[in-house]
Structure 1
Amino acid sequence: MSLRRHLLNQCLRWTEKPLLSRGSPQLLRRALEVQARLFFRTPRAVKAVWRELPLGPRALWLSPPQSGARVILYIHGGGFVFGSPLTHRAMLARLALLTDAEVVLPTYARVPEARFPAAARDVHAAWDSLLALGIAPQNIILGGDSAGGALAFDLLAQLCQEGGGLPAGVFGLSPLLDMTFSGSSFRENAGCDVLLPAQRAAEMAGLYLNGKSADDPRASPLFADYTGAPPIWLTVSDSEILRDDSRRLASRLCKAALPVTLQEEHDLPHVWPLFHNHLPEAQRTLEALGQWINALPPAPLGGPDRAGES
């Protein structure tokens, strides 16, 4: 592991974890937006444009110089409270360059202004909007991190149940999949997780769920049915409180004979690919994800496959 990994872990432990432990939603939003502008550099070759989605919320579109047919629909994390397309733009722009895919980062309703299932409705509307724009489901890769991972995998479960088109693949970066927080890593890693404060999870869940049971599959996608799901790629650090969310989902998918890849790393912070400008391990993870996306089977010929300019 790199020296930069050690320095970043120490910095996060002494600055960001205390902020996440006590900060108000408004403070957390402002802080991450400022930090993203200061520390996460977006590749200049990638064009970023805001667009209104026909059936859903506003979204940030990232277009690499050589874009192919594929589109990545990415749901940002932030505990359902903070984060935005702008805070995740740099990481996804790098992924766009690695895959020659356009990336769509939709906004969605956040806590405390909106409660469950408002965010999930916005995410499904973003998917429906891409289809309305003429993009074939098989040309869409769905992804998300942390709470955005919860929304992405909830969408996948809904699509599997609906019986329509499915994305070519789905990936999660340190996804939050179990709102009951029943994994052993939630207790075992409470001290060594350098970013997420385990003691605040119940507050976050209560704000988001708004009375919904935490073991409902719509709230905790770990318990959802993914029959017929496309290939799934997960990555998580062994020092995260959310480690067992990915481990248990991968185990369930394997038992159901569904295609899944779990890439577990050692002693890295929650959603470390965000730090790709500074952390060699983050660069390698994004490269591995890009290779996985590029290896997905191409969509069958025929039918609409791309959106027109708007």
Structure 2
Amino acid sequence: MRPQNGLRASLAASLTSVFVRPIASAVPANRAGIAFSRGFIATSLWLASPPLKGSRIEPGIRGEWVRAPEVVDGDSVVLYVHGSGYALCSARTHRGLTTRVSAGTGLPVFACEYRLAPRHRFPNAADDVRAAYDRLVAQGYERILVAGDSAGGHLAVDLAAQLIRERKAPPAALALFSPLFDVTFSLAAQRERMSPDPMISAAAAARLVGLYTVDADPGSTRLRFAFDDIKGFPPTIIQAGGREMLAADAIELARALRRAGADCELDVVPGQMHVFQALTRFIPEAAPAMERACRFLTDNLPAIERAA
């Protein structure tokens, strides 16, 4: 008999806690450890969420174009920003997510590549995401949506905030999967004391992110978001798993955006792990969560007024 949905999520979390967390917590944050982690995560993501069959993947400038079956180009696009601590992943590793974002929105997705730590440090990744957004604007896309997971969620928020501060048009809407908010991991550590994250410890995650932020001013508005000077932040949906430590970040980010007057929908799904949307082979809740996020994005696509 197949486990029910909630039981499958619980089983996946238990197995992850037994087999993955000890490895993730023990791998050193050095060159050899990063190389091992990159291979381990790439294999894990391919097994958990392979790309949708029939999707087209084409190279682009500092990234790749992803189109699910029957998706055609128009005036709208999704910019996807991958996560994994600013150090581990790529557009290629996230094809399971990007092909599903393309299918769910009916839009082409540009999955940007950004320079990774430890070789490249703050603000290199953030600058590369901004460059990708600017290229889409230059290519004539009039409506740009942004989605990102984990550290990619942090980069997506930084992108929108920087555009607003520069009085430029921000993305039409954001979808953030388990976004990082507090790069010091203080919020995550507090939540971890209540319930350990099945995937990784707060201390190990902080060491990984620290490879990117090591020389940065921790009070920088591009790392520690306050939104005191931000008006008109795009509509945003935030999803997180109830069993992950970054649920605390998701909750606090939603509070901060709402205080700034943003339309922000928060969806903390009980029993789920970090970026559970990428676990489509094992987690039944992954697909409906992705559908909700994609529907939020397309529901917030503004109509374009064209001259007669």
Partner of 1:121: 127
Secondary structure, counterpart of 1:264 in structure 2: strand
Gaps of 5+ in 1: 53-57, 304-310
Partner of 1:196: 200
1:120 and 1:154 in contact (8 A); partners too: yes
Which of 85, 88, 92 is the matching residue for 2:91?
85
- Residue by residue over 1:89-129, the C-alpha shift from the partner in whole angstroms, topping out at 9 and shown as x without a partner, is 11221121111111111111111111111111111110111
- Residue by residue over 1:55-81, the C-alpha shift from the partner in whole angstroms, topping out at 9 and shown as x without a partner, is xxx211111313353211011001111
1:237 and 1:243 in contact (8 A); partners too: yes
Which of 91, 95, 101 is the matching residue for 1:95?
101
Secondary structure, counterpart of 1:115 in structure 2: coil
How far has the Cα of 1:198 moved from its partner?
A: 1.0
1:215 and 1:223 in contact (8 A); partners too: no
Which of 67, 71, 77 is the matching residue for 1:66?
71
Partner of 2:137: 131
Equivalent position amino acid for 1:204 in 2:
L
Secondary structure, counterpart of 1:196 in structure 2: coil
Partner of 2:30: none
Partner of 2:173: 169
Which of 169, 186, 190 is the matching residue for 2:189?
186
How far has the Cα of 1:250 moved from its partner?
A: 1.4
1:189 and 1:239 in contact (8 A); partners too: no
Structure 1 residues 223 and 245: alpha-carbon distance in aligned structure 2, compared to 1, 3 A threshold: farther
Partner of 2:216: 212
Equivalent position amino acid for 2:192 in 1:
N
Structural mapping, 1:41-56, within 5 Å? 41-52=50-61
1:82 and 1:110 in contact (8 A); partners too: yes
> How many pairs are equivalent?
295
Gaps of 5+ in 2: 28-32
Structure 2 Cα separation of the partners of residues 201 and 43 of structure 1 = 29
| Structure 1 residue runs of 4 or more that deviate by more than 4 Å after TM superposition | 222-225
RMSD of aligned Cα (Å): 1.8
Aligned sequence identity (%): 31
How far has the Cα of 1:223 moved from its partner?
A: 5.6
TM-score (norm. length: structure 1): 0.89
Structure 2 Cα separation of the partners of residues 253 and 187 of structure 1 = 21
Does 1:160 pair with 2:169?
no
Which of 147, 152, 155 is the matching residue for 1:151?
155
